[in-house]
Structure 1
Amino acid sequence: MSRAELPRPDRKPLIALVDRANRALQSHMVRMAHLRGHPEVKPAHNSVFGTLAEEGSRAIDMAERAGITRQSMGEVVREMVGLGILEMRPDPADRRAKLVTYSEHGRAVAADGYGHLVELEQRFVAEFGAAEYEIARDVLGRIAGLLDDWAAVEAGAAASGE
């Protein structure tokens, strides 16, 4: 019995390029946190820094925004509470739920990270030029939007039995 040949793209797929850029950015942010005096920051913490609203968020909402399970987000949040980066308190809108917020130390860590993101954006503009960098940002945003739209259409078609 012969094996079917797998179809292969003739160049590196976009998903591989985006994944590589994402991993490089994520590890860069952690490395810079360490260099800026925050050695407790780990790669898993990026899922919190990228989803925690300044006024606080529920872990379940953060998990959804990060695309990870509630259990995984809960584990990261508990670790960051233990490190003094986050605090948990009752959610004023629903006393049964917990609201995750930054501690004072966590606000300093997040502020350093956001400041570095601004610096990175400036470096990318200097490297690629403002117009080219804006095109890259626009295209990535449009790709994400298209994929979300297509997923919604496919989910609707599946629900209606088409």
Structure 2
Amino acid sequence: MSRGQPERRLDRKPLIALVERANRALQTDMVRRAQADGHTEVKMAHNSVFGTLHAEGARAADMAVRAGITRQSMGEVIRDMVGLDLLEMRSDPGDGRAKVVTYSEHGLAVASDGFRYLGQLERRFAEEFGEHEYEVVRDVLARLVDVLDRFAEEEPQVSPSAGGRVG
């Protein structure tokens, strides 16, 4: 029995490939800029923390959910960043068994530089594409996430790793 080829339009890239490529390019650019600014310890894996850690701190498990990675993976990145003096771990005042991740003084400076650069980058995008077109891109991406979340709620749950139905 032969397998057929998956149906695919050859005249344009799939949306998922465009979004993934844009995400990778943005993350690579953020790391490149951090390193150019003298923060040579910053790695691609650290983006999962910089993108999910609020100034007041957060639990690693919550950060992992927001980043879309496992708790174990987030824990590895956090331990690496603690070792690089980018993060600190403190006892959670509401739950003595849990830890809250916060930026160290050095980590806060690195994150602040990154967010400042991100603002500059967004202004450059607005100049490149025009304010209106750039706002449309941002709006469509936000709505795309909302629509996909709604679709996920409407369908039976499927385990992404097992490829089988959960509920």
Q: Check whether TM > 0.5.
A: yes
* CA–CA separation in structure 2 for the residues paired with 1:40 and 1:125: 30
> Paired residue for 1:96?
97
Q: How does 1:3-14 map to 2 (within 5 A)?
A: 3-10=3-10, 11-14=12-15
* 1:2 CA displacement: 3.5
Give the whole-Å Cα distance in 2 for the aligned partners of 1:3 and 1:155: 28
May I ask how many residue pairs the two structures share in their alignment? Answer: 160
Tell me the CA shift for residue 6 of structure 1: 1.9
Kindly state the Cα deviation for residue 121 of structure 1 after the two structures are TM-superposed. Answer: 0.5
The structure carrying a bigger helix percent of its residues is 1
Q: Distance in 1 between matches of 2:152 and 2:94?
A: 31
Taking the aligned partners of 1:99 and 1:121, their CA distance within structure 2 comes to 30
* Correspondences of 1:103-114 after superposition (within 5 Å): 103-114=104-115
Question: Secondary structure of the equivalent of 1:5?
Answer: coil
Q: Deviations over 1:32-77 (max 9, x none)?
A: 0001110000000000000001100000000000000000000000
AA partner of residue 28 (structure 1): D
TM-score, normalised to structure 1, is 0.94
The answer as to 2:90 corresponding to 1:56 is: no
- Separation in 2, partners of 1:33, 1:83: 14
For residues 6 and 86 of structure 1, the distance between their equivalents in structure 2, rounded to whole angstroms, comes to 45
Q: In structure 2, how many angstroms separate the alpha carbons of the residues matched to 1:12 and 1:58? A: 37
Distance, in Å, in 1 between the alignment partners of 2:9 and 2:144 is: 19
Q: Which amino acid aligns with 2:146?
A: G
Aligned: 1:146 with 2:137: no
- 2:76 is aligned to 75
CA deviation profile, 1:58-112 (whole Å, cap 9, x unmatched): 0000000000000000000000000000000100111110000000000000000
Q: CA RMSD in A?
A: 1.6
Query: Matches of 1:132 and 1:99 in 2, distance apart?
Result: 39
- 2:2 is matched with 2
Give SS of 1:21's match.
Answer: helix
For structure 2, the 5+ residue unaligned runs are 158-164
Length-normalised TM-score, structure 2: 0.92
- Structure 1 distance, partners of 2:79, 2:23, is 25
Percent identical residues: 65
In 2: Cα distance, 1:46 partner to 1:3 partner: 39
Distance 2:71 2:154 in 1: 26
Structure 2 CA distance for aligned equivalents of residues 24 and 48 of structure 1: 17
Cα offsets for 1:1-57 (capped at 9, x unmatched)? 433232112421010000000000000000000011100000000000000011000
The residue type paired with residue 139 of structure 2 is D
Q: Which amino acid aligns with 1:111?
A: S
